[in-house]
Amino acid sequence: MGATLPRAFYARPTLTVAEALIGKVLVHRTAGGTAAGMIVETEAYIGEDDPACHAAPGPTPRNAPLYGPPGFAYVYLNYGIHYLVNVVTEDEGSPAAVLIRALEPLDNVGLMTKRRAPDRVVEPYRLCRGPGNLTRALGITLAENRLDLTSSRLRIEDRGLVAGRVSWGPRIGIRVAMKRPWRCFVPENPCVSHAKRRA
């Protein structure tokens, strides 16, 4: 399969990692099967000076993974309903991460469909569109928080795929720091959240 990304990949400036992750493959192995998708949309959250970053209030029990070494997962529950998955970047003690916002489904679409909506028809391009949707499709919950992305059941691989040209824009869903264009995405890919209809 693909080569698992080494820790050095994550130990770089967060914006660099956010763009480098586009085209890489997020993989989650579970007892029910292995599901995976190509990353087509990310957002950077950088440091205590970024008001939208969870590290803005300073160190707390919840955001502790952000202050830890790079290459680990930071998962949390949002709006009481959705799990969101980040990858920790930069050096230990420098709180920053990249939020995975959308995937193009690759492996085990059937399993992802079952997890997303057993009773409803979900078109493939919408399976992993949006950060809450992709975690549900891959079966990512709080149990995956703090996992080592270089050696655990949750990892990111380089399969040599080419996602296409990327664009930068304001991050979605936040009410502060709209000036910082720290959302990186493949505009032509229909799996990107907030994308227009059709490809």
Partner DNA sequence: CGTTCGATGCACT
Partner DNA sequence: GTGCATCGAACGT
Q: Residue 75, interface with DNA (CB under 7 A)?
A: no
Smallest gap from residue 95 Cβ to DNA (A): 9
Residue 180 touches DNA, criterion: CB under 7 A? no
From candidates 43, 90, 104, 144, binder to DNA by CB under 7 A: 43
Run of H or E including 77: strand 73-78
Near DNA by CB under 7 A: residue from 18, 26, 36, 45: 45
> Which residue in 193, 142, 7 sits closest to 88, CA to CA?
7
Q: How far is the CB of 153 from DNA (least distance, A)?
A: 21
Contacts of the segment 141-147: beta carbons below 8 A, 24+ positions apart: 141/75, 141/83, 142/75, 142/76, 142/77, 142/83, 144/28, 144/73, 144/75, 144/85, 145/65, 145/73, 145/74, 145/75, 145/76, 146/65, 146/68, 146/72, 146/73, 146/74, 147/72, 147/73
Contact between 36 and DNA per CB under 7 A: no
Residue 34, number of CB atoms within 10 A of its CB: 14
Q: Closer CB to DNA, residue 20 or residue 191?
A: 191
Query: CB-wise, 159 or 194, nearer to DNA?
Result: 194
Q: Which of 97, 112, 149, 192 binds DNA (CB under 7 A)?
A: 97
- Identify the three-state secondary structure at position 133: helix
**Count of residues of this chain found to bind DNA when the rule CB under 7 A is applied:** 37
Which residues would be at the binding site for DNA (CB under 7 A)? 43, 45, 52-54, 57, 60-63, 74, 77-82, 84, 86, 97, 99, 116-117, 120, 126, 129-133, 171-175, 193, 197
